[in-house]
Amino acid sequence: MRKLYQFHGGIHPPSNKSQSTRTAIAQAPLPAKLTIPFHQHAGETAKPVVKIGDHVLKGQMIGLPDGFVSSAVHASASGTIAAIDMQLIAHPSGLPNLCATLIPDGKDEWIELNPVADYRSYSPIEFQQALRMAGVVGLGGAAFPSDVKLAIHKQKIKTLILNGAECEPYITCDDMLMRERAEGIVRGAEMLRFMLDANEVLYGIEDNKPEAISALQQAITASGGVIQPNKRHEVVSIPTIYPGGSAKQLIRVLTGLEVPSGKLPTDISVQCFNVATAYTVHRAIDFGEPLLSRIVTITGNVGHAKNYDVLIGTPINELVALSDALPDTDRYIMGGPMMGIPLPAVQVPVVKATNCVIAASKKLFPPPQPVLPCIRCTRCAEVCPADLQPQDLYWFAQSREFGRAQAFSLFDCIECGACSYVCPSHIPLVQYYRFAKSEIRAREHDKQLSDQARERHEYHELRIEREKQEKADKLKAKEKAAQAAKLSSPPPLTPEQQAEQQKLEASRAHILEVVQSTIEQTDEGAVK
Ligand code: SF4
Ligand code: SF4
């Protein structure tokens, strides 16, 4: 049995997962309208390559990746592009984003798909390009382009971790995917392992998902020919503790290794992908299918909590209607109750990062209690998985001592909310950390801009100075040349010298005449 390690802190909130795992994943119906944002991933917004009125096929690319960290966006159904404009989407900023509105024609006509016969014949770069153009991004929440995660590692990757921990309460989309589609996950995981040339694949799954653990173990056992013979895939049941599914904490539990502050897992020869991402990789390579849909948990204050296979762009209110949201629902959360974001409107579309929608009510999530002063009880520090001192970070953020907050490793905070969860003074600690981080980022951005402006100004000054110097050097060189020319030419003659010169020239002319006439006389004599 594999030795497991512990990370510091952690909490055990009620899981509330069983409500949505009683029935199989259902197919959500095709909606009357799909709203597909061009920015559903970390990095640059995809560039629209369709225009209003275009008829598109299911799977057709409508947004081209633009920049190194970017990903393609596709039509989730066949139909007509009715609009390309700014629309409200689920984003912490609450700002609208560029979206394509697609009116499906109901025919579900696909583009011609080009599956890869043997992915092992692909070079890592060809494989990365295939994922980029298929719009494959991390489905665990961050939506980071998967091709970039395969591309950026300076050293050999020894261990590939498949994250199936799904530690946040209420969310069960990965659990249900592992139960029902384990074979595809193993195949996608082996493709990722092959491209990273990793020695082993570890599937980290919390022990409150016995069905998923068993399904993946069976899929590995039955995977003859899928996994390279000398490589290992192992399902590891890990203790259920929040936030055990956070990448750094999962790496610690499975390998005992710590990702140093400010470093990436790849710096310690480990790479992580979510299990749903591995499944999407399998669909993209084995079937040529771009990422058009994902599993979404609809739960909370609903009559029938359930997981749905949903087309990207489907309005969330249509999903919520399928699960019968109860009348006292007063808001919706995208993600879990610990790290999720409130939806600006329930009509916003499902995007690649939408793993769960929780219908919330005052009964389910009572309003926050009045905030009291910090009593320095250090309960927050006891549960912090990043081993920080949350009470100090709170103090620094509140007093705007951002330099000190940074010195106390503010950016190692993963915003898991464990500290806020246990705080007896009901202090919304994570909000303070988000505020401090955004202030520091804004200041760094401003500093960067002013540094760039200063550098531009200094360069401008330098250029003017250089041009002046070049002009002066040219003038000097010209004067020097004139001086040299002056020195090499003879001085002008005085009138006496000119008269003497004329005399000399006249005498030279006379001698020439005499010589000429003598030669002519000699020639005449010779002829005779
Ligand atoms: S848990 Fe709350 S009250 Fe206790 S030290 Fe932390 S911030 Fe202060
Ligand atoms: S939100 Fe940050 S400070 Fe609070 S427990 Fe999580 S990692 Fe620690």
Ligand 1 binding site (Cβ under 6 Å of any ligand atom): 374-380, 390-391, 394, 423-425, 427
Give the nearest ligand 2 atom to 418 CA. 5
Q: Is the CB of 138 under 6 A from ligand 2?
A: no
Query: Contact 133/61 with Cβ under 8 angstroms?
Result: yes
Q: Is the CB of 397 under 6 A from ligand 2?
A: no
In this predicted structure, what is the pLDDT of residue 512?
75
Cα 129 to Cα 134: distance, rounded to the nearest angstrom: 8
What global pTM score does this model have? 0.84
Collapsed DSSP state (helix, strand, coil) of residue 145: strand
Cα 56 to Cα 111: distance, rounded to the nearest angstrom: 9
User: Which is it for strands 293-300 and 356-360: parallel, antiparallel or unpaired?
Assistant: parallel
CA of 137 to the centre of ligand 1 (A): 37
In this predicted structure, what is the pLDDT of residue 528?
36
Q: Is the CB of 415 under 6 A from ligand 2?
A: yes
Give the nearest ligand 1 atom to 419 CA. 1
Residue 411, Cβ density class (10 Å: 0-12 exposed, 13-18 middle, ≥19 buried): middle
Residues of the chain below pLDDT 50: 524-528
What residue's CA is closest to ligand 1, atom 3?
374
Q: How many CB atoms lie within 10 A of CB 186?
A: 29
363 residue type, one letter: K
**Alpha-carbon torsion (139, 142, 143, 146), positive or negative:** negative
CA of 413 to the centre of ligand 2 (A): 5
18-25+117-334 CATH? 3.40.50.11540
Q: How many CB atoms lie within 10 A of CB 385?
A: 24
Q: Which residue of 415, 420, 432 sits with most ligand 2 atoms within 8 Å of its CB, as the best mutation to test the pocket?
A: 415
Of all helices (H) and strands (E), which one includes residue 407? Answer: helix 402-407
In this predicted structure, what is the pLDDT of residue 144?
95
Give the nearest ligand 1 atom to 379 CA. 1
pLDDT in tens, 117-176: 899 999 999 999 999 999 999 998 889 999 999 998 778 999 999 999 999 999 999 999
In this predicted structure, what is the pLDDT of residue 203?
98
| Angle made by CA atoms 52, 55, 61, in degrees to the nearest 5 | 85
CA of 419 to the centre of ligand 1 (A): 8
CA of 377 to the centre of ligand 1 (A): 5
In this predicted structure, what is the pLDDT of residue 420?
97
User: And the tokens for 183?
Assistant: 């074979």
CA of 373 to the centre of ligand 2 (A): 19
Q: Is the CB of 423 under 6 A from ligand 2?
A: no
What residue's CA is closest to ligand 1, atom 2?
423
Q: Which residue of 393, 394, 413, 433 sits with most ligand 1 atoms within 8 Å of its CB, as the best mutation to test the pocket?
A: 394
Domain boundaries, the chain: 18-25+117-334, 371-474
For 309, phi then psi, to 5°, come to: -90, 115
For 464, phi then psi, to 5°, come to: -60, -45
| Nearest CA among 115, 140, 113, 30 for reference residue 76 | 30
Query: Contact 18/307 with Cβ under 8 angstroms?
Result: no
Cα 135 to Cα 42: distance, rounded to the nearest angstrom: 12
Cα 195 to Cα 147: distance, rounded to the nearest angstrom: 10
* b/e sequence 222-256, b meaning 16+ C-beta within 10 Å: ebeebbeeeeebebbbbebbbbbbbbbbbbbbbbe
CA of 11 to the centre of ligand 2 (A): 11
Cα 140 to Cα 277: distance, rounded to the nearest angstrom: 8
Q: Is the CB of 291 under 6 A from ligand 2?
A: no
Q: How far is the CA of 372 from the CAs of 86, 366, 391, 428, in angstroms?
A: 41, 17, 13, 10
Q: Is the CB of 178 under 6 A from ligand 2?
A: no
Residue carrying the six token digits 């939506």: 143
Cα 465 to Cα 471: distance, rounded to the nearest angstrom: 10
User: And the tokens for 392?
Assistant: 């100090």
In this predicted structure, what is the pLDDT of residue 527?
39
